[in-house]
Chain A
Amino acid sequence: MSAAPTETALKRVPLHELHAELGAKFVPFAGYDMPVQYKLGVLGEHLHTRAKAGLFDVSHMGQLRLRGANPAAALETLVPGDIQALKPWRTRYTLLTNDKGGVLDDLMVTNLEDHLFLIVNAATKDADIAHLKARLGTQATVEPLSDRALLALQGPAAVTVLARLAPSVATMAFMTAANVTFDGIDCFVTRSGYTGEDGYEISVPAKDAERFARLLLKHEEVAAIGLGARDSLRLEAGLCLYGNDIDETTTVIEADLAWAIGKRRRTEGGFPGAAIIQQQLAGGAPRCRVGILPEGKAPAREHTEITDGTQKIGEITSGGFGPSQGGPVAMGYVDAKYAEVGTAVTLMVRGVPRPAQVVALPFVPHRYYRG
């Protein structure tokens, strides 16, 4: 077996000591020393989240406020989402695009009336901030919130647990936001997450993060969950991991994220790469992100070559074992003519051809609370 890489100077999240106390195994991730799993193990944590409630620390992600005369109009110059139509206290998934229609980052935007609240990826947050500042100029100011932690409580029991502390969260619908006080701790809550399960993301002042996390962990339904299970959960949910499934070289259409482009914006454009995206919306993209179900038990990891039996037609971008699926799951890009559900493909797993099929995503149905 190969040895683990050596860790260098890594940033720590506010809950670092609590993670250590809970028996976390840490790995370097996007410059942070992050818990990859706890004593329950990745498999147990994954299944626990699907059955009950998992508490994830996602404090490494970037939390930003965007202020200005019309921050929604300003942000629309950089993303294809219909941000101006976003109602107050509503959240939307969108993407920062480049001039080729590629993806600089994917992010969540919430309309907080006098400003927008953004959550961006950890690995890209510095670049995102620089990009926003450079491109928005005087239209909007970017205010990174460095004194806040971000926790996600995910799974069917998340609502039960959180409503015990603040009953008002029970009626929040998927992708809505609210300011909520839990035992005197003022938090900003969205009903969202990245596991496919119902749940919440909670932005909490760093100084209160540990007390808040302990409040949640006291409930028997809640277990601490690491990045390992977060990854297998989001893969089963068919959700993109930035840097794997989407990046600067994959267009929004190729990534099958056209649903994130507002109807008005499809015709109006006005965001970086709009011409390419509009062209691919009309005529189709040369390749497409699809679900891939390997036959048998061998997982197909990222960078596994996909062939039609003779020549390369694509590549796996995320793949592994799906604990809820009970077997291997994957997604990746294939040439458009192979993108239809049911198409038989071949995966080159360590040089050995293995049969697989293009399937519809997600592998595990989403269970969001639509109200």
Chain B
Amino acid sequence: MSEIRYTKSHEWIRVDGDTATVGITAHAAEALGDVVYVEVPAAGKVVAKAKEAAVVESVKAASEIYAPVSGTVTEGNQALADDPALVNRDPTGDGWFFKMTVADKGELADLLDEAAYEAMVAESN
């Protein structure tokens, strides 16, 4: 069974066995507005927890996307190169950013579950 965890910086990570998929939350996609460019990491890139792993740009601004946990990228979502607006249309589905292996599953425990993430977003509003 897959489980979704969230960072305080609005990334989500869905773990399926030894690999995980990473994207940004619907709340983040809404806050960004129209996404016009996404730079995803290439397979093989080693990413560190809470460090920059990708870049998403709206018309106005560029934002860094941080790796929720440490690990190695296995695939960047190439569909975003042709259709960056996928991030707005389906942020937690087809608009994923990259897949990765998780180096230390213990790091997942530091992330928020859905209820805690929703509570944090509600509080910031």
Binding site for B on A (CB under 8 A): 1-4, 36-37, 41-44, 46, 228-229, 231-232, 297-299, 301, 320-321, 323, 328, 350
B: number of interface residues (CB 8 Å): 26
In the complex, what distance in Å separates the CA atom of A231 from the CA atom of B36? 16
Which listed residue (A41, A228, A301) contacts B62, Cβ 8 A?
A: A301
Q: Mark B22-47, 1 if CB is under 8 A from A, else 0.
A: 00100010011110110100000000
Partner of A1, one of B11, B36, B37, B39: B11
In the complex, the 10 A-B pairs of residues with the closest C-beta atoms, listed nearest first = A43-B34, A321-B36, A42-B59, A1-B10, A1-B63, A321-B59, A228-B60, A1-B9, A41-B33, A41-B34
> Within 8 Å of chain A (Cβ to Cβ): is B102?
no
**B59 and A323 form a contact (CB under 8 A):** yes
- List the B side residues contacting A43 at CB < 8 Å: 33-34, 36, 59
Of the candidates A3, A231, A297, the one whose C-beta lies within 8 Å of that of B9 is A3
25 contacts between A and B (CB under 8 A): A1-B9, A1-B11, A1-B24, A1-B64, A1-B65, A1-B66, A2-B9, A2-B63, A2-B64, A4-B31, A36-B60, A42-B58, A42-B59, A44-B34, A228-B60, A231-B60, A232-B60, A297-B81, A298-B37, A298-B39, A299-B36, A299-B37, A299-B57, A321-B36, A321-B59
Assess A350 versus B55: contact at CB under 8 Å? Given A1-B28, A1-B65, A298-B37. Answer: yes
CB distance from B101 to the nearest CB of A (A): 23
Enumerate chain B interface residues (CB-CB to A < 8 A): 9-11, 24, 28, 31-34, 36-37, 39, 55-66, 81, 124
Contacts A321-B36, A321-B37 given: A228-B59 contact, CB under 8 Å?
Answer: yes
Query: Which residue of chain A is the closest to B60 with respect to CB atoms?
Result: A228
- Chain A facing B: main interface SS: mixed
The smallest C-beta distance from B117 to any residue of chain A, in angstroms, reads 13
Taking CB atoms, residues of chain B closer than 8 Å to A36 are: 60
Task: List A contacts of B10 (CB < 8 A).
Answer: 1
B9, B28, B37, B60 — which one has the most chain A CB atoms within 10 A of its CB?
B60
Interface centre among B37, B55, B59, B81 (most CB of A within 10 A): B59
- Specify which chain B residues have a CB less than 8 angstroms from the CB of A321 in the assembled complex: 36-37, 57-59
Which of B24, B57, B59, B63 is within 8 Å of A232, CB to CB? Answer: B59
Give the contacting residue for A42; candidates B11, B33, B39, B66; CB below 8 A.
B33
Q: Is the CB of A320 within 8 A of B63?
A: no
Shortest C-beta distance, B37 to chain A (Å), equals: 5
Residues of A within 8 A of B39 (CB): 298, 350
Q: How far is the CB of B26 from chain A (nearest CB, A)?
A: 13
Within 8 Å CB of B11, what residues of A? Answer: 1
